[in-house]
Amino acid sequence: MRFHQTGGPEVLRYEDVPQPVPGAGEVRVRVAGSAFNPADGGMRGGFLPIPITLPHIPGYDVAGTVDALGDGVSGLAVGDAVVGFLPMTADGSAAEYVVAPADALVPAPTRISLPDAAGLPSVGLTAWQALFEAGGLVAGQRVLVNGAGGPVGGYAVQLAKRAGAHVVATASPRSRDSVRASGADEIVDHTTTSLLDAVVEPVDVLLNLAPITAERFAALAARVRDGGVVVSTTPRVGTPDDPERGVRAATVYLHPDADVLSRLVALVDSGELRVEIAARVPLSELPALHEQAEAGHVHGKVVIVPSGD
């Protein structure tokens, strides 16, 4: 599935292309699963500042089987089950085969199905980088996860709880049970309750994962204790700080990290991290999925499976 020009979901075309050939340091992966992410729609629509070459194949999360090795590749073999976060500027995994940098791939988890493993890399890495790299979260701290009902939020709640934090999370009635199962200590139903009223005790880390206005974000930041941190994955709205109180701001821009991805895979295999997949759709139905996402009807992580698998 690829698009030859930017635009609405209708620009996506399901078509035959030559099988990609891995170059030096690359491998070809037979795709078992690709994951849909909102940024896929942003790149297709042409309003995300990520440089791509047209025509472009979307999909930067992949799970599959190594099919061919490029020159100089070691540590991987044909037949290995792998998972990875792919370079967003290159052709992606919404295809039967994708070429990937060998160093972007790690052994796939064995506790879950291989296609479902595609639901882990980018969102799991985002949650980790937000909490621990940007937020510096440690045991005993309080963290507020605004937007805990989404895919990144589910991992953030699980990882924060596992790290020994007290987790306050927002959720709608639709996602409440999932957020509770992820380990949240307190859940605020943002559809009926003011988060500003509900959070009366200061938090050490405020993690915002949801669309928010600058005014509301600043008000929430006031709930962060002196010396705390405000972390955001929504760069369209500035992340507020408060230098007078020693509150710093950190905006997360996802970056590859195979070592952390391997740690996340190990947590999945040990049963300490749950991968939730809301739906699995054939590759041929990707345009319809993009339409549903634009209409706000996609909730949770969706995995795309190449037709015929």
Give 107-164 pLDDT, tens digit per residue.
999 999 999 999 999 999 999 999 999 999 999 999 999 999 999 999 999 999 999 9
Give pLDDT tens digits for 248-270: 999 999 999 999 999 999 999 99
- Residues 209-230 have pLDDT tens digits of 998 999 999 999 999 999 999 9
Q: What is the pLDDT of residues 61-74, one digit of tens each?
A: 999 999 999 999 99
The helix-helix angle for 151-162 and 121-128 (nearest 10°) equals 50
Confidence of residue 183 (pLDDT cuts 50, 70, 90): very high
Concatenated DSSP letters of the chain: -EESS-SSGGGEE----PPP---TTEEEEEEEEEE--HHHHHHHHT-S-----SSB----EEEEEEEEE-TT--S--TT-EEEEE--TTS--SSSSEEEEEGGGEEEPPSSS-TGGGGGSHHHHHHHHIIIIIIS---TT-EEEEETTTSHHHHHHHHHHHHTT-EEEEEE-TTTHHHHHHTT-SEEEETTTS-HHHH--S-EEEEEE-S---HHHHHHHHTTEEEEEEEEES-TTSPPP-BGGGTBEEEE------HHHHHHHHHHHHTTSS-----EEEEGGGHHHHHHHHHTT---S-EEEE-TT-
Mean pLDDT of the chain: 95
The average pLDDT across 12-36 equals: 97
From the list 33, 143, 26, 149, the residue with the least C-alpha distance to 83 is 33
Q: How many residues does the chain have?
A: 309
CATH architecture of 123-251: 3-Layer(aba) Sandwich (3.40)
pLDDT number for residue 49: 84
Average pLDDT over residues 167-171: 94
pLDDT at residue 307 tops 80:
no
Residue 110 confidence (pLDDT): 97
The pLDDT assigned to 309 comes to 43
Position 190 scores a pLDDT of 80
Q: For 2-120+275-305, give the CATH class.
A: alpha beta
For the chain, the structural domain boundaries read: 2-120+275-305, 123-251
Confidence (pLDDT) at 197: 85
For the cut 60, the answer to whether the pLDDT of residue 308 exceeds it is no
pLDDT more than 90, % of the chain: 87
Across residues 201-208, what is the average pLDDT?
96
Where residue 19 falls among pLDDT bands split at 50, 70, 90? very high
Contacts of residue 52, defined as CB under 8 A and 6 or more positions apart, other chains included, come to 43, 88, 89
Whole-structure pTM value: 0.95
